[in-house]
Structure 1
Amino acid sequence: MKQYRYRVTLEQLTDANGVPGDGEPLKFEVGSHDDIMSIVARVSSRGDFSSQAEAAAFAVGLKLFGGTILANKNNPLLSSFLPQLHQFMKEFKAGSGDSKEKV
């Protein structure tokens, strides 16, 4: 199956007390059948979140979470999420009453 490829980097800027982080960034690569950048743009334009950063975090997190669940659907621990994930995705794609557009 053809996939988009992404490199995800997470770097701690500060700790909970505002002290700068000094650890190495977490980096990994992941594939997705979706154009996540396009999804982030659509989610950001809907107006469901108070900032574009929140919208991006939600969209990226959801796509990574959903992709991992689907890739491991035979794992009993993860497969229990499938019905709720499918229902949530159906409702989210339909858009909320306040949303400007559907995803």
Structure 2
Amino acid sequence: MVAKWSTPWPIAFVRSFSAGSNSVICSRPVDSRPPERTAHYVRTYPSRRRNVMPLANFKIQVERMDDAASAPLVFEVQNHDDIFAIVERVRAGTAFAENDAMALAVGLKLFTGVMLNHRHDPLFADVQSAMRMFIGNLKSRIAATMEKT
């Protein structure tokens, strides 16, 4: 006799082993077959992110000012934050020069975006905690400056 098996997650029986990135492929005996035969199923876990933010597309262009012959670097990124609003907050909340504030905000946002996309890469293991601390300090400085004004 085979015991009933239940789970809070939806289960779909499949024949192929192709599954999404948030799925786990398992096998177990099927009640109606002899125990030596198995059916494969995919367990799909509910998404952890309930309110998924829409992504905005940004085009980044870097040109060399003193050499017209060199081609500019142009690339596109997606981000859930409004980079323009972040630049304005960093400009208003820090004592940096305008160009330095823009470079800090855009560079930090681009770097952390790549770091979050590849968070399991060992290359970023050493800087993740330091970046959390740095961003927390930057946000608290901006908030303190905004309260004063």
Both structures adopt the same fold (TM-score exceeding 0.5): yes
Q: CA RMSD in A?
A: 1.9
Aligned to 1:72: 118
Asked if residue 9 in structure 1 is aligned to residue 54 in structure 2, the reply is: no
Task: Give the percent of matched residue pairs that are identical in Structure 1 and Structure 2.
Answer: 32
Q: Distance in 2 between matches of 1:75 and 1:47?
A: 32
Larger strand share, 1 or 2: 2
Aligned pairs for 1:1-103 within 5 A: 1=52, 2-14=54-66, 20-49=67-96, 51-95=97-141, 100-101=145-146
Residues 68 and 28 of structure 1, relative CA distance in 2, 3 Å threshold: same
Structure 2 length normalisation: TM-score? 0.59
The offset of 1:100, in angstroms, is 2.3
| Count, aligned residues | 95
* Paired amino acid for 2:127: F
Question: Residue type matched to 1:38 in 2?
Answer: A
- The structure with higher relative contact order (CA 8 Å, sep 6+) is 1
8 Å Cα contact 2:94/2:141 also seen in 1: no
Deviation of 1:40 after TM superposition, in Å, equals 0.3
Gaps of 5+ in 2: 1-51
Distance apart, 1:101 and its partner CA: 2.2
Distance 1:21 1:101 in 2: 41
- With normalisation by structure 1, the TM-score equals 0.83
Larger radius of gyration, structure 1 or 2?
A: 2
Moved over 2 A (4+): 99-102
CA distance in 2, matches of 1:9, 1:65: 16
* Higher helix proportion (structure 1 or 2): 1
Distance 1:86 1:100 in 2: 20
